Structure 1
């Protein structure tokens, strides 16, 4: 498995391009904006975009989805259907955050806990991790010990839960009872900021470290 991070828009959210080195098939995860930059990266690396994968429905993570889908005809997969609450309000989100109005889209497939995604020879497991949004999912490649966690967990912090339909306890439960069980060695890409490992956060993150929970 290979990947590269493309922080996009003034929010610097991590759009991730992940691909199978054997087949050169790629998925773009959370294309929050700057579609031309994403397309240029695909061309530079001679990759074939197979799908768009979404961890959740906030505009800063889906803003370029509609345009990429319209231009390339690839399916949009994810998030969990509970995030229709957010996907149906993209224009409202754009006004709130000062973003241009996005091209509308609907997911071709929603994801549930326990689903799997394939990309060439790669396999990704789906974990439903609500709290930041009700339909947030995490994508985990067990062989590479790698996860894309969106806005669930960050290096030294956790996702906000003060947006509509956020739930702080659900978020803590998702991190402690799902993500941390994947293993301390798992590297993860957060929705914003630098990568970390689950073990590092379990030891030092002031919100979810083991020391906080006895």
Structure 2
């Protein structure tokens, strides 16, 4: 018995919120609950699991706007992202107003994450990889036993994260992908922040932005 994953797209941006379930304990974690809190609550209820943690890859509104409400409703901690994304979370009220999202307040996570740390829920442990570029404080969560990574907006099937936002950095993003993600192994599957899942091996072969053909 290991890790089970359900993906619930949330917000008008169809952001992939992952529900991670420890099959042995029935404990769950939410990765990037960007909104649609009631839909996420229904999904947790249908899975018959107990929410224990909330993990955030970065501070953009479509990835974290529902986090504080869920923290209050369930009494669970928010862990992540890296502290370099604090400015994004602090400007959530303005970002949500500008993008037509439901109003939310700024908040402070219970724990900022650093490269090489781990996060836990149930009997599951995930490695934290600091992968800046899309945002300066972006992190990725890697579940080694399942060969699965939750990469937020670092990498997509056939594309990479935008770097035209404040403090985005294209070269830094490419380095994060090549130096932090590729060494995990070609067989690792990943859940991106938007769109379909893929594997690192597939992207190394076919992704026009980071393929080995272009960067070999």
| TM bucket normalised to smaller | over 0.9
Superposition RMSD in Å: 0.8
Which runs of structure 1 show a deviation greater than 4 angstroms over 4 or more consecutive aligned residues?
A: none
What is aligned with 2:207?
205
Gaps of 5+ in 1: none
**Helix, strand or coil for the counterpart of 2:113?**
coil
Gaps of 5+ in 2: none
What is aligned with 1:115?
117
Residue 106 of structure 1: how far off its partner (Å): 1.2
What is aligned with 2:178?
176
**Helix, strand or coil for the counterpart of 2:88?**
helix
Say yes or no: does 1:91 pair with 2:93.
Answer: yes
Residue 96 of structure 1: how far off its partner (Å): 2.3
Residue 63 of structure 1: how far off its partner (Å): 1.1
Q: Is the 8 A contact 1:67 1:103 kept in 2?
A: no
What are the superposed Cα offsets for residues 13-41 of structure 1, whole Å, 9 maximum, x if unpaired?
00010010000010000001110111111
Say yes or no: does 1:194 pair with 2:196.
Answer: yes
Q: In 2, distance between residues paired with 1:158 and 1:100? A: 27
Q: Is the 8 A contact 2:92 2:105 kept in 1?
A: no
Residue 103 of structure 1: how far off its partner (Å): 3.8
What is aligned with 1:141?
143
Q: In 1, distance between residues paired with 2:167 and 2:69? A: 27
User: What TM-score comes out, normalization by structure 2 length?
Assistant: 0.97
Q: In 1, distance between residues paired with 2:120 and 2:78? A: 14
What is aligned with 1:68?
70
